[in-house]
Amino acid sequence: MFEHKTEKLLPRRKFIGRMASAVGFASTILVIALTIGTLGYHFAARFSWLDSFLNASMILTGMGPVGELKTVCGKLFASFFALFSGVVFLTIMAVTLSPVLHRLMHRFHIDNEGLKRSEQPSRHDRTQ
């Protein structure tokens, strides 16, 4: 998916395309998670569609639940959905930031390779 460290840095236009793909994929993950949450709150907690969507959105953003859960099934679903939401958040951040972090690391590698051998820090300097 990403270029090798020996390849040139990706041109800005292609990098923007890569970022758009990453954001699109992260958005897809978010929509799927929001759908799961809305369906779960509607059927397990017996919330209206709007309240289900609100609760799923609030849990996914880390704000916390809005409606009072009255059923055992609803409480169990909310517990597991909260854990699932944490994983979804980490996944979305990883997918979104990976092109940026890769480009940053690639750029540092290119800068380091660009130094003359005599300009590179000695082994002794690197251990301090």
Domains of the chain in sequence order: 12-115 (1.10.287)
Residue 44: CB atoms within 10 A of its CB come to: 20
Contact 71, 44 (CB under 8 A): yes
Tell me how many helices (H) and strands (E) the chain has. 4, 0
Q: In the numeric block, which tokens belong to residue 69?
A: 């859960």
Q: What is the pTM of this model?
A: 0.75
Give residue 118's pLDDT.
47
User: Residues in the chain with pLDDT < 70?
Assistant: 2-7, 9, 108-128
Q: What is the distance of C-alpha 54 from the center of its chain?
A: 21
Q: What is the pLDDT of residues 78-108, one digit of tens each?
A: 999 999 999 999 999 999 998 888 778 777 6
Q: What share of the chain is helix, strand, coil (3-state, %, to 5)?
A: 75, 0, 25
Let me know: does 38 contact 60? Beta carbons within 8 Å: no
